[in-house]
A = this chain, B = another copy of it.
Amino acid sequence: MTLQQARGTVYGVVLNDAISRERIGSLDDAPYKGAPKAPVLYIKPANTRATAGAAIALPEGASSVEVGATIGLVIAQPAARVAPESALSHVGALVLAADLSLPHASYYRPAIREKCFDQSLVLGAPQPLCDMAALALETSIDGQSVERFALSELLRGPAQLLSEVSSWMTLCPGDVLLVGVRYQAPQARAGQHIRIDAGALGALQFEIKQGGQA
Contacts and interface: CB of A to CB of B under 8 A. Distances in A.
Given A60-B167, A168-B118, A108 B110 contact: no
Interface residues of A, number: 41
Given A42-B112, A110-B42, A170 B118 contact: yes
B47 A169 contact: yes
Nearest to A47: B170
A107 B36 CA distance: 14
Interface in A107-125: 107-113, 116-118
Nearest to A36: B109
A43 B112 contact: yes
A23 interface: no
B109 A32 contact: yes
A132 interface: no
A40 interface: yes
A172 interface: yes
B168 A108 contact: no
Interface of A: 7-9, 11, 30-32, 36, 38, 40-43, 45-47, 59-60, 80-81, 106-113, 116-118, 167-172, 174-175, 213-214
